[in-house]
Amino acid sequence: MFPVPASNLVTDQSKESDVSKQFSRRDLLRIGALAAAAPAAMTLAPTSPALASGGAPGDRGGAGSKHPRPGWEAPNWRVKPFALNQVALRDGIFQQKRDRMLNYARNYPGTGGVFDGPDRMLHLFRVNAGLPAPGTWPGGWDTPNHLLRGHFTGHYMTMLSQCWADTGEEIFLDKLDYLVEELGKCQRALDARPVGRVPGRSGMAVRLSDPHPNQYVLLPAGILADVEDVTIAAWVNLGAAQNNAKIFSFGTGANVHLSLTARVSATNPGPRFAITNSGSGGEQRITGDSVPVPVGQWAHVAVTLSSADGTGRLYVNGVEAGTAAITLTPAGLGATGNNWIGRGQSNNDPLLNTSVDDLRIYRRALDGTEMQALAAEEPSAPAASPADLVAWYRFDTEGETAHDHSGNRRDARIIGTSYRGFLAAFPEGQFSRLEPPTLQPNSGPNAVWAVWYTCHKIMRGLLNAYHLTGNEEALDIAFRMGDWVYQRLSRYSQDELDRMWNIYSAGEAGSMNEVMAELSALAHPAKKRTRYLAAAKMFTFTTLFDAAIAERDELNGRHANQYMAPNIGYLRIFERTGDRDFHTAAKHFWSMVVPHRTFSNGGAGRSEHFGPRGVITSGFTSASDPRHAETCCAYNMLRLTRNLFFHDPDPAYLDFYEKALHNQILSSRRDVDSVTSTEVTYHQNMWPGRSRRIGNTIEYSRYGGNGSCCNGTGLESHTKYQETIYFHSADESTLYVNLFIASTLTWRDRGFVITQQTQYPTEGASRLRFEQAGGRLKVRLRVPSWATQGYTVRVNGHRQLMAAKPGSFVTVDRRWSRGDTIDIDMPMSFRVEQALDNKAIQSIMYGPTLMVVRDATPSYRDVSFYRDLKLDGDLASSIKPTEVAMHYTTHGYTLAPYYIADPVPGEFNAYHPYVRRVEPEVVFGSFGSGVPNDEVRDENGETFLDRVWAQAPFASHWQFLHRVQQVSAQWVTAGRHTEEQRQAILDAAAQARRDLEG
């Protein structure tokens, strides 16, 4: 609430001077020759790494560094990651997608200057801090009046940090250091801004609404409960000509209130008083259209109500502006609780942008002469305290309390506080609007939109700048933000916090609990560690937290991204405290999403919300909103999955991770180069026959192509593909090979350099070659759940005897020498994945890849496969290759990988992620049984043939017949088939031997 003391400003200025010296070379870059670099259409050539591979003192961890910077690590992790600079991508689709984002990171916004991109990211922060702000802003949601402005800057910092760690190119470090330095200046400027009282008509006044942190004044409940006659008078200095903004309002809601509106509308610019106990239709009004309240100067406004003559009068600067018959009284409204200065009873009423001084409430109606005297009162006149005052607010003292000078002890509370350390691109009052008692939703002129989400992105970006590049100032800024977070939230009870986190969108907080828990580990004073950890726990939404612990699925209808991200923070709190409830909640949440709400591309959500458990494709052919699989959701689920694996290395986590990374994330980056747009999808339509364009909206550029949440997470996702290819055990005795992506691992601590050579996912083979080796090492190789056609491992050409079960790991344990090789062969096959809610709706998969039907018809395409199946169960007998890699044909349609993302400018390929399986008869090869298949289903929605072929591959015809006999017996027992039908099925299966073995 108080201005920053001058002594603190001196300290901050000296720090700023030191920082400026530290980055003087970057200032020279900004004004020097590099500021006129390559044109927008070109890619800047990669610059040299800032440090040689020798890793001198001050090594900041770029590619080639001896000092890996893996980011956050917890002491209780069973498995740990390698740093980005320890794993280099090699030629393949992941590198190609990564390189497009590297091109964007080097050159955005395509105007040639090295710091043009960071300056755009800084523009709105500088404006908010009152600093010079040349140039423009990123666009999309990062625009001057958007409520989420600033979040994209946080993602941009993370991208630059990851690009530096990945490549060692100094251009990324230059941009990042400059950006962090300038954000530090913004934070110090925000600390120095005046946030207390302002000069008033007489003495000091309270300033209300943005950009000032004070929002409105809350008066005591029941303050007018015994008042029949009344005068309410105040001095106001309006900051803008707002329609329907209230100078004061006393009521219980829109149906019961008395209010004074400063300006009705442009055509009725004067004030209006209204009182009602039966809604707008029952309002008794006094209008003053002929005497508007002036803007930008002090004006005296007053209302009097007299029960003696049933008249109300409205005054502006002592002049009667309107009169009307008023029979309702303040007491007649009852003991009102919504009693405010600067706020109305409706969310459609904007908070009043004004300064207020000397507000008085009398328990009688002053006459015209007295009103003239009040309006003419000299500013220096001594304050009087008439006995007939109900309350009198002067606002002369700082703080949240507006003292009652009437002697009646009816002190008021100023809503909206400010604390040092605040950093954002929007006013601090946005946080006050979300907090109790306001709890403003994401609607109306005072709307709040995910302010804590935006805060998280900024703090996460700063922490990544520290973790991945060693930028100490970034950590300092984050610490000061952490202090600010604790001060803001520690004043509220858990019930009040839950009410905040329960608000749709406005209460979305990202993974604020994650960054606060990490800060608690990085802080040195024990008091700060305790405070930061306490603040992390404040972001717990106990409704869903408790439900998750108890395995009660209450996600239906919830905003998906809003309630995914906190689970990452729950794991951080578990890592800091050992409280297993936080781990349990995150683990159970994951299991409520996977597979029960997961599309075949690994995404989740429809119109950004969770649906009922197990409902995947219901309504896909209706005319409702087709916005599926928000890309941010996949980003957060991958982060959660990865962190769960560190505690529990269950291969099921990696099966999901591969699906979501390989399909939704990989496909989210369009296959075109751009330095002006991220070209990352917001939603990915899963309806039949849709493309990544809905009407005139292109998903890659929804909300402008820069500045949306998914644009931001896309900056991160496509510059860290290598982060999960390899892990190691906490004791460094074991290497985990999780993903089959062409890459090189440099593990200096163990003396290993291992290169993975693979054409995956085009083919199911991969070779690990030990370029350098340092002794004994257990190598755990992932066996994907889809690898049902065999999985063999050869070491130096010799096949290893091991039981490779799909959805597991196999281990090779030996001493390794330079030149040793591990060859993994996992033949890929075509298979289907059934939608949980309709087993006839299926996706065609090839290994990990979702294969989509290229067709624009907005209804399911029908396919039949069972007649052509062989004992291996591979659909390949019905699917034929084309001359184009990974493109096939079936049933007259083209099948293409989902990850191919519209490479031809201006063209948007329509596709079907799901097809409809039509298998009317139980048939084996060319032998039919005459028994219906599709029309008879079991309790899980599966047909007879579904149940039989679920056990494929079959080693022999005899094994196949045994399975048919087993299922047919079950179906007879369940009453689905007769004995005659069973015999017909067994006969057809026996006769089809040649077809099945073919």
| pLDDT reported for residue 382 | 52
Query: Is the previous residue joined to 761 through a cis bond, with omega within 30 degrees of 0?
Result: yes
User: What is the Cα gyration radius of the chain?
Assistant: 33
Burial 629-653 (b: 16+ CB within 10 A, else e): bbbbbbbbbbbbbbbbbbbebebbb
Query: Per-residue pLDDT averaged across 416-422, rounded?
Result: 96
- pLDDT value at position 385? 63
In the numeric block, the tokens 């607010």 are attached to 393
What's the pLDDT tens digit per position in 506-527?
999 999 999 999 999 999 999 9
What's the CA gap between 273 and 331, in Å, rounded? 17
- Banded model confidence at residue 927, pLDDT cuts 50, 70, 90: very high
Compute the average pLDDT of residues 605-616: 94
How far apart are the C-alpha atoms of 336 and 713, rounded to whole Å?
A: 46
| pLDDT bucket at 190, cuts 50 / 70 / 90 | very high
- Is 169 in the same domain as 309? no
- The pLDDT score that the predictor gives to residue 557 is 96
Q: What is d(CA 504, CA 596) in angstroms, rounded to the nearest whole number?
A: 22
- What value does the mean pLDDT take over residues 449-467? 98
Please give the C-alpha separations between residue 539 and each of 433, 454, 542, 702, in angstroms, as whole numbers: 17, 14, 9, 30
> What value does the mean pLDDT take over residues 751-761?
97
Look at the chain and report how many structural domains it folds into.
4
> Over the range 803-826, which residues count as b (16 or more CB within 10 Å of their CB) and which as e?
ebebbbbbebeeebeeebebbbbb
190 and 202 both lie in a single domain = no
* Residues whose CB is less than 8 angstroms from the CB of residue 43 and which lie 6 or more positions away in sequence, other chains included: 103, 106, 107, 673, 675
Inside any domain, residue 681: no
The answer on 445 and 408 residing in a single domain is no
Specify if 936 maps to a domain. yes
CA angle, 801 then 802 then 807, to 5°: 155
Band of pLDDT at residue 36, cut at 50, 70 and 90: very low
Note whether 929 and 921 are within 8 A (CB): yes
Is residue 725 pLDDT above 80, yes or no?
Answer: yes
Phi-psi region of 796 (alpha: psi -120 to 50; beta: other; left: phi over 0): left
11 falls within a domain = yes
Helix (H, G, I), strand (E, B) or coil at 694: strand
pLDDT value, residue 5: 30
Task: State the pLDDT at residue 2.
Answer: 32
pLDDT number for residue 389: 95
- Establish if 525 belongs to a structural domain: no
Residue 894's H or E segment, with its range, is: strand 893-897
pLDDT of residue 66: 77
pLDDT higher at 82 or 290: 82
Residue at token pair 């610059």: 47
Q: How confident is the model at residue 153 (pLDDT cuts 50, 70, 90)?
A: very high
Burial 358-395 (b: 16+ CB within 10 A, else e): bbbbbbbbbeeebbbebbebeeeeeeeeeeebbbbbbb
Contact 49, 64 (CB under 8 A): yes
Whether the CB-CB separation of 718 and 101 falls below 8 Å is answered with yes
- Is the residue at 330 inside a domain? yes
Query: Quick one: which of 109, 90, 219, 227 has its CA closest to 166?
Result: 90
Report the mean per-residue pLDDT for the chain: 92
- The pTM of the full predicted model, rounded to 2 decimals, is 0.93
DSSP 85: G
Answer yes or no: do 168 and 207 share one domain: no
Range of the domain at 758: 724-823
Q: Distance between CA 719 and CA 157 in Å, rounded?
A: 12
Whether 171 and 218 map to the same domain: the answer is no
Residue 424, CA distances (Å) to 41, 109, 192, 487 in order:
32, 22, 14, 16
- The pLDDT value given to residue 35: 38
Half-sphere CA count of 337, side-chain side, radius 13 A: 4
- Nearest to residue 538, comparing CAs of 563, 568, 513? 513
Residue 32: per-residue pLDDT: 42
**Do 793 and 938 belong to one domain?**
no
Say yes or no to pLDDT of 772 above 70: yes
Mean pLDDT of 83-105: 97
Query: Residue 352, SS3?
Result: coil
Handedness of CA 230, 235, 241, 246 (dihedral sign): negative
Please classify residue 476 by burial: count the beta carbons closer than 10 Å to its beta carbon, then call 0-12 exposed, 13-18 middle and 19+ buried: middle
Q: Are residues 321 and 260 in the same domain?
A: yes
471-488: pLDDT as tens digits: 999 999 999 999 999 999
- Decide if 457 contacts 161 (C-beta within 8 A): no
Does 658 have pLDDT greater than 60? Answer: yes
Which of 823, 839, 874 is where one domain is finished?
A: 823
Longest dimension (CA), the chain: 111
**CB-neighbour burial class of residue 7 (10 A; exposed 0-12, middle 13-18, buried 19+):** exposed
pLDDT at 625: 62
Task: Read off the pLDDT band of 615 (50, 70, 90).
Answer: very high
Task: Encode pLDDT of 778-831 as tens digits.
Answer: 999 999 999 999 999 999 999 999 999 999 999 999 999 999 999 999 999 999
Q: What's 310's domain CATH number?
A: 2.60.120.200
pLDDT class of 383 with cuts at 50, 70, 90: low
Please tell me the predicted confidence (pLDDT) of residue 621. 63
- Give the pLDDT confidence score for residue 705 in this predicted structure: 87
Q: Which amino acid is at 205?
A: A
Q: For residue 665, how many other CB atoms are within 10 A of its CB?
A: 27
The H or E element containing residue 701 is: none
Average pLDDT of the segment spanning 835-850: 97
Pair of tokens at residue 311:
């008249």
Better pLDDT: 384 or 892: 892
Angle between helices 979-991 and 957-973 (to 10 degrees): 170
pLDDT at 37: 35
Q: Tell me which DSSP letter residue 38 carries.
A: S
What 3-state DSSP class applies to 911? strand
Q: Would you state the structure tokens that stand for residue 692, as one six-digit string? A: 């990544």
Going by DSSP bridges, is the β-strand pair 697-698/752-758 parallel, antiparallel, or unpaired? unpaired
Q: In which residue are the tokens 């099966």 written?
A: 655
Q: Pick the last residue of a domain from 400, 415, 430.
A: 415
Per-residue pLDDT tens over the stretch 204-256: 999 999 999 999 999 999 999 999 999 999 999 999 999 999 999 999 999 99
The pair of three-digit structure tokens given for residue 790, joined into one six-digit string = 């065999």
Query: How far is residue 814's CA from residue 647's CA, in Å, rounded to a whole number?
Result: 25
CB 855 within 8 A of CB 910: yes
DSSP string, 121-158: HHHHHHHHHT----S---BTTBSTT-TTTTHHHHHHHH
- pLDDT band at residue 380 under the 50/70/90 scheme: low
Q: Indicate whether 142 and 20 sit together in one domain.
A: yes
Q: In what order do the strands lie in the sheet with 808-816?
A: 79-81, 726-729, 734-737, 775-783, 808-816
Residue 441 lies in a domain: yes
In a domain, 855, yes or no: no
Q: Is residue 894 part of a domain?
A: no
Task: Say what the pLDDT of residue 624 is.
Answer: 60
State whether 154 and 42 are in the same domain: yes
DSSP character at residue 687 = S
Task: Indicate if 406 and 445 belong to the same structural domain.
Answer: no
Quick one: 203 and 352 in the same domain? yes
Which tokens belong to 549? Answer: 């612990």
- Do both 161 and 212 map to the same domain? no
Q: Of the candidates 823, 854, 886, which is a domain's last residue?
A: 823
